[in-house]
Chains A and B, each alone.
Chain A
Amino acid sequence: MSHHLEASRNSCALHGALQLFEAIDGVVPVIHSTSGCGVQHYLGVTRLSGGNDTFGSPPVSSSNITQKHVVFGGGSRLREQLKNTVKVVQGELYAIVTGCSTEMVGDDIPAMAREGRDQEWPVIYTNTPGFGGDVHHGYHLALKALIEQLPDIVKSREEIPSGLVNIWGIIPNQDPFWRGNLQELGRLLEGIGLVPNLLLGNGQNVASWQQVPGALLNLFISPWGEFPARLLEERYATPSIICEGVPVGNAASILLRRLTDRLELDPIRTEEFITREESRLNQQFARLADSYYRAGFQREFALVGESAQVIGIGEFLVNSFGMLPRTLVITDNPSESIQEALDSRLMAILPGYCTDVLFSEDQSEIHDVVRAGQPGIILGSSLEQEVAVELGVPFLALSFPLFDRIVLERAYAGYLGAAALLEDLGSAMLAGSKYINEAS
């Protein structure tokens, strides 16, 4: 069964790889493709993730191949581009990514990377044609390249702290709150005595990635962590824990207890930390009560986002905030087995209540389903706003693409994230409260 796809949010492998590389300080990506790929990376991705441009969004280095390179091969153009990039742009590691055009031509990328390494340049490469897969596939390709090629390039290693935990599965820009989410997850791990290795975002650099093999544990947030879990288990025998949804509010407590058990940490310290965090969150709930009832916050909601977001935010709103999960739409195309698991988990999210669960990346299909559910509030990407306007209900933009919000360090994960989510959700409700009479 095939039908056309409208406005997919899953872009392509090249962008997924770029998003990962750009999130690491000191990594300079070099695109080997026609010029459109680099431009689209900006127009179609970084511009749509809440002001998450890398500094001033300078153009990404690109070989910008033209017709003659398609006919005669683009290897020499890449050689030249790599050389010039190393000379002009500061970096600790240069990462070549490839587009559809050069992959169809069949340029020998590993050879170019090897040439660069012969010149003592720190170069890795990954083949990321868009026809090979979407943004999540690109995320996998990029981290595979780093895990497999980095040890051969950057030899020196600093002390690896004990209790190091690598965090995987949060894809920069694809989760617009990635920076804040990683920060908060890091704070939680520190709270129970672990040392988080965020790998992406503030202060994370090539050295962070060099520490990956020495970790005690790999923590996976989202189904997109399964691939690196397997890879790292094969290479370094590091065990892992998978958390399918972003842990929001009390779900964070559950995760922290799991980690405490698994790693035999001090349970008293963990409980103290959890108690402090939960009591703050409980007080925030209490302060909200007046607005909650006065403005009729409790209602049916529609949530559109990636797997981890929908599970994490959906379960929090249902389990802690009294909301009714009318429609849940997952847009990131997880594999069939994961889909089955998510489906049964989400359909049963509120016993006795019928929830519509849809796996789709087609805008028109998503909008039809959301509209049909007649929710009292819609949480989704900026693309869903028009449905909210149509139905006359409040709207909160929280998934990719996000073009009318700025997100610098805001988290929706953990305890601080739960508070931020409630602030934004509550504000959206109050702004749209003139519609309460129409909402159920």
Chain B
Amino acid sequence: MALFGLELNIVPDDSTIELFRSAVAAKASIPLCPDAPEYLGLILQEKYGVPLIKVSRPVGIEGTGRWLKSIAAFLGKESVAEELHTRKAAETARKLGDFSLQGIKVYISLSSSNAFSVLDLVEELGGEVTGLTITHLDRLHVRHLDELTTRNPSLQIHVSDGQAFEEVSILRKLSPDLYLGDSTHLGQVARLGIPVVSLESLALVGYSGVVRLVRRIKTALANGSYELALAKAASPYHEAWFRRSHNWHIKQEVK
């Protein structure tokens, strides 16, 4: 931000009342994460005239670049952002070396704020997303869904918050090579023998976020002994459940 000659005001996490007050005088606001801040951004825009820059999360190399460039465009400082992005992208590529997720089938199970940006990131790293569990979907996600339908029309999306029994059923059928999730049932996933990376406490944003995630993925893919050990513990679910469609409990109310 300093490069743009801007001061950053982060709300609402760890904020003070003072920071909230100064928020109404900001040049613009931009979300760091989609869903939740939307409301705050809209109120600042409608009631106080602080423009809300709509752009997806700064996750991934291109995603981060796009985010920075949209701020820059707003201020007429495009060249600053271009230069920064080119430099940072090259630096990140150097740090990643020849790492690629080519040939790796990845399953993503995340909250709606994370899922779409991580999906993009996985594809940026060369991986194939074979399935997606997302905690919820609403009108805020229509744009993402439209994009996905074009890019990845056969992708099955499982909408569920914490329904581990459905997810485990899906995973048994799909057998992905890697699972990225942030839920409370990662142990159940891992015992299927799938390498797991938890994104719950991983700082995913920015260029460094990419490097951080890749490091975790490399580690998970390098040694699956814990998953093998977990497989020895019994599954809590009946085998009969897995013979049913995982959508069994979804009521088809609208045809």
Structural contact, A56 and B187, CB atoms closer than 8 A: yes
List of A residues within 8 angstroms of B186 by Cβ: 56
The CA-CA distance from A27 to B209 in the complex, in Å, is 42
Structural contact, A59 and B162, CB atoms closer than 8 A: yes
- Give residues of chain A (8-29) contacting chain B, Cβ–Cβ below 8 Å: 28
Chain A 157-180: CB-based contact to B (< 8 A → 1; otherwise 0) = 000000000000000000000000
Structural contact, B185 and A87, CB atoms closer than 8 A: no
List of A residues within 8 angstroms of B191 by Cβ: 56
Report the minimum CB–CB distance from B136 to chain A (whole Å): 12
Chain A 36-62: CB-based contact to B (< 8 A → 1; otherwise 0) = 000100100000000001011111000
Query: Is A364 in the interface zone, CB < 8 Å from B?
Result: no
Picked from A39, A59, A90, the residue with its CB within 8 Å of the CB of B237 is: A90
Report the minimum CB–CB distance from B144 to chain A (whole Å): 25
Structural contact, B164 and A84, CB atoms closer than 8 A: no
Structural contact, B190 and A87, CB atoms closer than 8 A: no
Structural contact, B238 and A90, CB atoms closer than 8 A: yes
Query: Is A268 in the interface zone, CB < 8 Å from B?
Result: no
Structural contact, A87 and B238, CB atoms closer than 8 A: yes
Query: Is B5 in the interface zone, CB < 8 Å from A?
Result: no
The CA-CA distance from A89 to B165 in the complex, in Å, is 9
Structural contact, A90 and B236, CB atoms closer than 8 A: yes
Report the minimum CB–CB distance from A326 to chain B (whole Å): 36
Structural contact, B233 and A55, CB atoms closer than 8 A: yes
The CA-CA distance from A323 to B139 in the complex, in Å, is 63
Query: Is A88 in the interface zone, CB < 8 Å from B?
Result: yes
List of B residues within 8 angstroms of A89 by Cβ: 165, 236-238
Chain B 181-209: CB-based contact to A (< 8 A → 1; otherwise 0) = 00011111111000000000000000000
Structural contact, A87 and B240, CB atoms closer than 8 A: yes
> A87-B241, A88-B165, A89-B165 in contact; A55/B184 too (CB < 8 A)?
no
List of B residues within 8 angstroms of A59 by Cβ: 162-164, 184-185
Chain B 155-191: CB-based contact to A (< 8 A → 1; otherwise 0) = 0000000111100000000000000000011111111
Structural contact, B240 and A58, CB atoms closer than 8 A: no
List of B residues within 8 angstroms of A58 by Cβ: 164-165, 184-185, 187-188, 236
The CA-CA distance from A90 to B240 in the complex, in Å, is 10
List of A residues within 8 angstroms of B162 by Cβ: 39, 59
The CA-CA distance from A179 to B189 in the complex, in Å, is 25
Structural contact, B237 and A56, CB atoms closer than 8 A: no
Structural contact, A88 and B188, CB atoms closer than 8 A: no
- Give residues of chain A (296-355) contacting chain B, Cβ–Cβ below 8 Å: none
The CA-CA distance from A53 to B186 in the complex, in Å, is 12
The CA-CA distance from A39 to B162 in the complex, in Å, is 9
- Give residues of chain B (218-240) contacting chain A, Cβ–Cβ below 8 Å: 230, 233-238, 240
Residue in A closest to B188 when the chains form the complex, CB atoms:
A56
List of A residues within 8 angstroms of B165 by Cβ: 58, 88-89
Query: Is B249 in the interface zone, CB < 8 Å from A?
Result: yes
The CA-CA distance from A53 to B82 in the complex, in Å, is 48
The CA-CA distance from A237 to B14 in the complex, in Å, is 58
Residue in B closest to A56 when the chains form the complex, CB atoms:
B187
List of A residues within 8 angstroms of B187 by Cβ: 53, 55-58
Q: Which of A42, A53, A87 has the most CB of B within 10 A?
A: A87
> A42-B184, A88-B165, A89-B165 in contact; A55/B236 too (CB < 8 A)?
yes
List of A residues within 8 angstroms of B230 by Cβ: 56
Structural contact, A57 and B240, CB atoms closer than 8 A: no
Report the minimum CB–CB distance from B2 to chain A (whole Å): 33
Report the minimum CB–CB distance from A206 to chain B (whole Å): 15
List of B residues within 8 angstroms of A53 by Cβ: 187
- Give residues of chain A (51-98) contacting chain B, Cβ–Cβ below 8 Å: 53, 55-59, 84, 87-90
Structural contact, A88 and B185, CB atoms closer than 8 A: no
> A56-B190, A59-B164 in contact; A88/B241 too (CB < 8 A)?
yes
The CA-CA distance from A371 to B92 in the complex, in Å, is 49
The CA-CA distance from A256 to B225 in the complex, in Å, is 43
The CA-CA distance from A77 to B87 in the complex, in Å, is 57
The CA-CA distance from A42 to B186 in the complex, in Å, is 14
List of B residues within 8 angstroms of A55 by Cβ: 187-188, 233, 236
List of B residues within 8 angstroms of A57 by Cβ: 184-185, 187
The CA-CA distance from A199 to B187 in the complex, in Å, is 25
Q: Which of A53, A57, A58 has the most CB of B within 10 A?
A: A58
List of A residues within 8 angstroms of B163 by Cβ: 59
Residue in B closest to A28 when the chains form the complex, CB atoms:
B236
Report the minimum CB–CB distance from A272 to chain B (whole Å): 38
The CA-CA distance from A406 to B235 in the complex, in Å, is 23
List of B residues within 8 angstroms of A84 by Cβ: 249
The contact sample of 15 A-B pairs, CB cut-off 8 A, is A39-B162, A42-B184, A55-B233, A56-B187, A56-B189, A57-B184, A58-B165, A58-B187, A58-B236, A59-B163, A59-B164, A59-B185, A88-B165, A90-B236, A90-B238
| Apart from the given pairs A55-B188, A90-B235, 18 other A-B contacts in the complex at a CB distance below 8 Å | A39-B162, A42-B184, A55-B187, A55-B233, A55-B236, A56-B189, A56-B190, A56-B230, A57-B185, A58-B184, A58-B188, A59-B162, A84-B249, A88-B238, A89-B165, A90-B234, A90-B237, A90-B238
Closest 5 CB pairs of A and B: A56-B187, A56-B188, A59-B162, A88-B241, A58-B164
